[in-house]
Structure 1
Amino acid sequence: MIERNVNQVNEWAAKDWAEGKANGYFDGRRPGAPITRDQTAIVNNRLRNNFLKLIDGNTIRITELERQLETIEKGGELQ
């Protein structure tokens, strides 16, 4: 069995690891180590908070998109 270097990211994951690190979801340490439940909770909550901020900032846009969808569903044309 080959021992995995937990301080080295896999080549196939390097781009995504760099992006996740740059966006603040991971701290950049031990990219090859198994993730723990508490580490998973941190990433999930960072994602959740960002989604909530995104949704909150787009409430008016979401309302407009819903109105447009209803128009489309009724066979109408968008203006």
Structure 2
Amino acid sequence: MLWFFFCVAVLVLGYFTYGKIIEKIFVINPKRATPAYAMNDGVDYMPMSKTKIWLIQLLNIAGTGPIFGPILGALYGQLQCFGL
């Protein structure tokens, strides 16, 4: 249990410090335009609303469920009976 709390503490510490270290290495300019605005061509690079961005992220995460669900079910479910 001690290892668990140690790992959680390292994870939390890394969460709060890693971003600041990377920010110092790669100088962040908040006024710099993103590629969606700088190279807007209406096909590959175009700005989208936050609603569409979150929907795409949700579909990317939820879309893998029907693929990996049966695979993991087979590996850790019935195939365990056969020693595989």
TM-score range, shorter chain: 0.3 to 0.5
With a CA cutoff of 8 Å and minimum separation of 6, indicate the structure with the bigger relative contact order: 1
TM-score, normalised to structure 1, is: 0.37
Whichever of the two has the greater Rg, that structure is 2
